[in-house]
Amino acid sequence: MKETLVFTDGASRGNPGSSGWGAVIAHDGQVVELGGGIPEGTNNQMELTAVIEALEWLQGKEVATVSIYSDSTYTISGATGWVFSWDKRGWQTKDGDPIKNKELWQRYYELQKTLEFEVNFHKVKGHASIPANERADDVATSFADGEIPDLKNVSQADYGVSLNPTAQYLEKSPVYFSFVGGEARMHATWPECQKWVAGKQAQYRKVRTVVERDELLREWGVDLAAVKK
């Protein structure tokens, strides 16, 4: 039986504020997208909710091993360590204060005791060109913005997003982008970029991943095809 992959993310406008969560699940040849939102919440709540909802969706299915990819240190540290200490202390911190998001953590704690498959968490960098994590982020932010995204439930062959959990770095990384007088250029080295922008009203930035590049060009209002090399 193949490994099941889960990519999760959460978003909050205002933190706390309008919030959403998203999950991409690759299981048994299919890809299912899940998501939801609440009027008032935090990013941590949504990150944890995405993991809980994904595991609840998988519960009862033929699953051997689940690998969860998340950029939330809070969720991963809590799920793999803190939650067990909190339970022993009556859901209090070491100082005797109630833990934050108690109801969600209790929900996760009870859930993980019933799972019949192994769960492994993997910490990934946010917005680091891991396509399925970026898709989970899109779903989460859509719900946080009060929008209802088109959630997919298709075969992996028909899913238009890569399920490779490795960050997609640019072929030559890092590279440097400059923006001078409405013109964007890509430079292979920092000295080359520095020489070009010297003495000019310029913006410039080092870029390592596909997502960083695309976000920067959107910020500058430039199409990739228009970038000079």
H or E segment and range at residue 17: strand 17-27
- Residue of 33, 53, 134, 137 with catalytic role: 137
Residue 71 annotated in active site: yes
Residue 127 annotated in active site: yes
Q: What is the DSSP string of 190-215?
A: HHHHHHHHTTS-EEEEEE-BHHHHHH
C-alpha span between 70 and 17 (Å, rounded): 21
Residue 47 annotated in active site: yes
Residue 97 annotated in active site: no
Residue 87 annotated in active site: no
Residue 27 annotated in active site: no
- Residue of 20, 22, 33, 71 with catalytic role: 71
- Residue of 27, 37, 41, 47 with catalytic role: 47
- Residue of 17, 56, 127, 192 with catalytic role: 127
Taking each helix axis from N to C terminus, what angle separates 102-114 and 43-58, rounded to the nearest 10 degrees? 20
E runs forming strands in 101-213? 118-123, 153-155, 175-180, 183-187, 202-207
Residues annotated as catalytic are 9-10, 47, 71, 127, 137
